Structure 1
C-alpha cells in the first residue's frame, strides 16, 4: 500500500533559480512531446506511445544542450505525464464527457518535478536532489516505510514542498466493534449527517474569506500589468486562496480521521459532483463544502487503518422512507421527511443517511458485515 507525505522545503535563492529553470526546461519538453504526438496523428494518422517519446530525449538533448541540466528520469516522467493526459482524454471521449484535449503549458504553468526511481536521498535535515543539490527540509513527522518517488512542487505563493510516496505494509483489519458501521449524507445546511443522528456543521470556509478575497482581487485588478505592484498583489491573492484550501484540507482530514477511528464501515453516496456544479444557484456552496475531498481523505485513512469505505448509488436516498420504503417526493426546501404510509416524521438528512447505510450494507458480502447487524 502507498502512503504520501508532504514536507516544506527551504531552498536558497540560488537553488530557487535552479529549480525554476528546470521547471521551464521540463515545460519545454512537455510542449515538444505534445506537439510531436499531435503532429504524428494529424499528418501521418499515427499513434505515438510513451516509449517512443522517451527515446527522443537523447536526440532532443543534442539539439537543446540545456536539457542536460535536468536529471534524466525527471525528463522521462514528463513524457509519462503527456501519456497520462492523452489517456484521460480518450477515457472522457469514450464515456461521452467533454473531452478536453491536452493543452500546451504556458510560462509558469509547469510547477513540479518528479524523481521516480532514483536521483534523490533524504537525510534528517536535507533532501539531496541530483542536478540541484542539498535542500533544507522540515521533517515535522517521521516517515514509515520505503520511499518510492519524490515530487518537488512549487506553490502559487512561492512555497516549495517535497511530496514523498512511501510503500508500507497493508494494515491488518481491526476487530469489529458494536455499532461500527455508519451511513453519511453530505449536504449544505449541515456538512454531514450520520445515520446515528449526529450532525457535522458546515464550516463555510470560502464564505468566511469571500470579502477578504474580493478586496485583494480588486487591488490586483487595479495594478498595471507587468509591474512589481501587480506581482506583489497577485501573491497576496494566492495567499488568501491557499489559506482557504488549507482550511478545507485540514477539516476534511480531521473529519475523516475521526470517522475511521470510530467506524469499521463508512458508507457515502457516490455523487457526480461535476454534474451538480452545473446548478449555478448552488455551485459556489457545493464547491465550498468539498464533499469529494472528504471521501478521498476518508478512503486513504480507512485503507491505512483497516476500515472500509463503501460508495452507493445516490438515487432516491432522500426520497425513500427509511421505515417502510415508500417514495415520498419532496423539494430541496423541505427539510423534514413525513411519510403518509407509516407516519414516520424525521429530519430529511437523517432519513437519507439511514437509507445510505442500508444500501451500503446490502452491497457488502455477508462475511464483511458487522456481527452487531
Structure 2
C-alpha cells in the first residue's frame, strides 16, 4: 500500500468540523479501550460491534461515519495486539500497555463517507459532521489509480494546516539494474555515517541549529496567559518550527537512504537499540537529532522497493575488532583511530563499517568464515562481487608489508 498526501483548502467552519470529527474518533477509541479493560475475553469483532452501541448512546458519535468509527476501534485493537506481541516475545522492560489518547490528530475513513470529483481535484465528506468539500493541493495524480483501490482516507491536523492522505492498494516496486557493489554503514554523531570505503556524510544537526529559535518561541509561550488566544498563537508558532525541523530531518534521511540503496546491492548496518541509547542523558538529544531509526526504516523500505538486500547485523564489537586480523583492540570513545598490531591503521568508524559489511556478507553466505580467505558465491541470477579495495584493503596492505603472509 502506498500513501499520497495532499494539503486541503477550505473555510474555517470546515476546519472546526474536522476538529470535531477527530475528537469523536478519539472518544470512540478510548471507549473501546475501556471496554476491553473492563471485560475479559474481548476480541476485535466485539470492539467493532461496540461502536454501534456507542452510536446509539451518544448522538455526536452517530454523526461520524460508521466506517470511521470502525477504523477507530481497529486503531485500539492494533495497540492491544502490539502489547500481546511484545509479551509473547518477552521484550525486556515495559511491554507497551495501550494508553488512552489525549491529543489525537487524525480521523480515518474507509470505503464510505467520502467522494472524489471526476477530475480528482476535490474531495467531499458525506457524513453528518458536515465537513463538506475541499480542494486537494499537491503534485500527485490520482488518475493513475481506480477509486476502488483507495482503501483508506485520513484527515490529519498539523501545526501548519490540515492534510488529506489516501491509502492506495497498489504495487510499489521498481526494477533497477544490479550494481555489483556492497556497503557497510556505521552511524555516528560526529558524522551521520561512515561507509566501508571511508566516505563520510556530515551530520546536519537540524535541531541544534534551530535550538536558539525554539527556546525563544518556548519562552513566548510561557509568558502568555493560559487559555488565552495569544497563548494558542504562540503554541502554533512553536509547533510550526518543530514541524519544519522534523521535515528537514526527514527530507535529508529519505534522499540519503534512496541514494545508498540504489547505488549498492547489499546495504549492511547495525541493529542498534536506539530506545535504550537515548537513556544516556548526555547524548539523548544528539542521538534523537541524528534520526538513526528513521534512516534504517527508509533503507529497509527502499531495499524492498528496488529489490535490494538490507541486512541488520549485531553491533557487538564492531568498533573493537580489527577488520584485518579479527583481534580485539580495546579503545574508549575518545580514541578515534584504530591501530592494530597486525599493521592496520584506520579511522575508528571506517574500521567499524568494514566489520559491519563483513558480518553481513557472512550472514548471507557470500564469504566464508575462514580468516584471511575470501570466497565469492552466486545468489540467484545476480552475482555480487565483494570489492576488495573496500572490505579487505587492510589485509592486502598487510600482505604487501609482510611477504611471509
TM-score (norm 2): 0.85
Structure-2 change in CA distance of 1:18 and 1:170 (3 Å): closer
Deviation of residue 370 (structure 1)?
A: 4.0
Are the equivalent residues in 1 in contact too, given 2:265–2:384 (CA < 8 A)?
no
Does residue 96 (structure 1) correspond to residue 92 (structure 2)? The answer is yes
The 1-side partners of 2:194 and 2:361 are apart by 18
Are the equivalent residues in 2 in contact too, given 1:125–1:139 (CA < 8 A)?
no
Question: 5 Å matches for 1:114-193?
Answer: 114-122=108-116, 123-131=119-127, 132-143=131-142, 145=145, 146-155=149-158, 157-169=159-171, 171=173, 173-178=175-180, 180-193=181-194
Are the equivalent residues in 1 in contact too, given 2:192–2:201 (CA < 8 A)?
yes
The 2-side partners of 1:95 and 1:235 are apart by 38
Are the equivalent residues in 1 in contact too, given 2:3–2:168 (CA < 8 A)?
yes
The 1-side partners of 2:247 and 2:339 are apart by 39
Q: What secondary structure is seen at the aligned counterpart in 1 of 2:331?
A: coil
1:232-256, CA deviations, whole angstroms, 9 ceiling, x for partnerless residues? 1111111111111011000001101
Deviation of residue 170 (structure 1)?
A: 5.6
Question: Counterpart of 1:306?
Answer: 307
Deviation of residue 135 (structure 1)?
A: 1.3
Q: What secondary structure is seen at the aligned counterpart in 2 of 1:176?
A: coil
Deviation of residue 95 (structure 1)?
A: 1.6
Deviation of residue 173 (structure 1)?
A: 4.9
Question: Counterpart of 2:239?
Answer: 238
Deviation of residue 296 (structure 1)?
A: 1.1
Question: Counterpart of 2:401?
Answer: none
Q: What secondary structure is seen at the aligned counterpart in 2 of 1:191?
A: strand
Question: Counterpart of 1:227?
Answer: 228
Structure 1: which 5+ runs fail to align?
A: 41-45
The 2-side partners of 1:116 and 1:344 are apart by 59
Structure-2 change in CA distance of 1:282 and 1:11 (3 Å): same
Question: Counterpart of 2:384?
Answer: 371
Are the equivalent residues in 2 in contact too, given 1:174–1:307 (CA < 8 A)?
no
Deviation of residue 133 (structure 1)?
A: 3.0
Question: Counterpart of 2:336?
Answer: 335
The 2-side partners of 1:299 and 1:191 are apart by 18
Structure-2 change in CA distance of 1:7 and 1:185 (3 Å): same
The 2-side partners of 1:218 and 1:112 are apart by 28
Task: Work out which of the two has the higher radius of gyration on C-alpha atoms and give 1 or 2.
Answer: 2
The 2-side partners of 1:288 and 1:85 are apart by 27
TM-score (norm 1): 0.92
Question: Counterpart of 1:355?
Answer: 355
Q: What secondary structure is seen at the aligned counterpart in 2 of 1:56?
A: helix
Q: 1:59 aligns with which of 49, 53, 61?
A: 53
The 2-side partners of 1:235 and 1:57 are apart by 33
> How many residues are paired up?
362
Question: Counterpart of 1:82?
Answer: 76
Question: Counterpart of 1:43?
Answer: none
State the superposition RMSD in angstroms: 1.8
Are the equivalent residues in 2 in contact too, given 1:193–1:199 (CA < 8 A)?
yes
Q: What secondary structure is seen at the aligned counterpart in 1 of 2:379?
A: helix
The 2-side partners of 1:237 and 1:170 are apart by 36
Structure 2: which 5+ runs fail to align?
A: 366-377, 387-405
Are the equivalent residues in 1 in contact too, given 2:320–2:331 (CA < 8 A)?
yes
Question: Counterpart of 1:325?
Answer: 326
The 2-side partners of 1:335 and 1:346 are apart by 9
Structure-2 change in CA distance of 1:170 and 1:12 (3 Å): closer
Structure 1 segments, 4+ long, off by >4 Å, are none
The 2-side partners of 1:263 and 1:121 are apart by 43
Are the equivalent residues in 1 in contact too, given 2:111–2:150 (CA < 8 A)?
no
Question: Counterpart of 2:105?
Answer: 111
